[in-house]
Amino acid sequence: MPEFFHDRKLYYTPIEFALSHIGGTWKMPILWRLQESVQRFNELKKDIPHITDKMLTSQLRELEAKGMINRKVYAVVPPKVEYSLTDKGMQAIPVIETIMKFGYELIKEEGIEFPSKQHKNDDIPS
Amino acid sequence: MPEFFHDRKLYYTPIEFALSHIGGTWKMPILWRLQESVQRFNELKKDIPHITDKMLTSQLRELEAKGMINRKVYAVVPPKVEYSLTDKGMQAIPVIETIMKFGYELIKEEGIEFPSKQHKNDDIPS
DNA sequence: TCCTATACTTACCTTTTTGTAAGTATGAAA
DNA sequence: TTTCATACTTACAAAAAGGTAAGTATAGGA
């Protein structure tokens, strides 16, 4: 596999380069949320459990820097900022879907059970 | 997205779970090498530029622990150990391929050039 | 005057991942 | 007796990633 420099960093493989765009704990969950529609900071925050303000901001900034998302600021108070996928970001969606499906397969094969939130009566399984 | 515990670790998403199997700098390059045939430690080492003994060992161990590869030891001196993909490991191959292709697309779109090793005359492009 | 909402920023710290350099065991061959 | 090959292990260090807790600006409303 080839290696190359980009933005002062050495990448060993195209895989590494791809993961610099969508890797880490939060980038894929964020991009995944944006595929449906434009989202505001707080909407993403509510949608993505456990993410902190700091991580959400930093990951949004990195995604923007890599051209995966757009950031649109409205000059209002309180602030309003909308995030949306760029074409490049949209290219990532099927990749993320593949990884997600693989994750679900693995979970299934491990026999891992996680609480389904399909119904309200979580504590009274049928 | 659901969250769940497995092996004393909390996973927030299936994506995170998938990446625990194939994520990091070295796991995908290793699995990719094994798709063609069984490989020995030193063969992998020669094939994967920049990987150190330590990282190769630790990643092979983790892949084994997750059931992605088999480790076969021959009782000879000097040692001989062969690594091969399990069925689970094979399931990862198309996923890795998708990520790799995405990486190549991104590289192309960025206009990044890397030295092709197709021909010997690297310094005399036709 | 104080509180609220929104989208952040900042300082500090912990954990995880990766890297560096050196050493180990063994039997066969020189 | 020394060297060689193979597949590691170990101690230590550096870098990257992630987390905690607190603070900021602003205008409108109570």
Q: In chain A, which among 33-52 make CB contacts under 8 A with chain B? A: 49-50
Distance from CA of A97 to the nearest CA of B (A): 9
Give a yes or no: residue A99 inside a domain. yes
The answer to whether residue B101 is domain-embedded is: yes
B41 touches strand D (CB under 7 A): yes
Taking the Cβ of residue A110 and every Cβ of chain B, the question of whether any pair is shorter than 8 Å is answered with yes
Residue A125: inside a domain, yes or no?
Answer: no
* Minimum-distance CB partner of B14 among A25, A95, A100: A100
Structural domain includes residue B5: no
Peptide bond into A29 cis (omega under 30): no
Give A66-88 pLDDT, tens digit per residue: 999 999 999 999 999 999 999 99
CA separation for the pair A91, A22 (Å, rounded): 11
A65 touches chain B (CB under 8 A): no
Closest residue in chain A to residue B102, using alpha carbons only: A18
Q: Is B55 on the interface with A (CB under 8 A)?
A: no
Print pLDDT tens along chain B (126 aa): 578 999 889 999 999 999 999 999 999 999 999 999 999 999 999 999 999 999 999 999 999 999 999 999 999 999 999 999 999 999 999 999 999 999 999 999 999 886 554 434 333 333
Q: Give the sign of the dihedral formed by CA A41, CA A42, CA A45, CA A48.
A: negative
Residues contacting nucleic strand C by the 7 Å CB criterion are: A 40-42, 53-54, 57, 60-61, 71, 77-81; B 24-26, 50-55, 58, 77-79
In the block, tokens 């998302």 appear at A69
pLDDT of residue A2: 75
Read off the pTM: 0.90
Count of the separate structural domains present in chain A: 1
Does a structural domain hold residue B56? Answer: yes
Which CATH number covers residue A82?
A: 1.10.10.10
pLDDT of residue A121 exceeding 80:
no
Q: What is the phi/psi pair of residue A112, to 5°? A: -75, 130
Of B21, B23, B98, the CB nearest to A106: B21
Which residue, among A102, A88, A74, has the nearest Cα to A31 in the 3D structure? A88
Residue A108 lies in a domain: yes
Q: What is the mean pLDDT of chain A?
A: 90
Strand D contact at CB of residue B3, distance < 7 A: no
Subunit contact B18:A116, Cβ cutoff 8 A: no
Whether B113 has its CB under 8 Å from any CB of chain A: the answer is yes
Q: Which residues contact A31 (CB under 8 A, 6 or more apart)?
A: A22, A63, A68, A69, A85, A89, A92, A93, A96
Structural domain harbouring A41: 27-117
Cβ-contact B72, B84 below 8 angstroms: yes
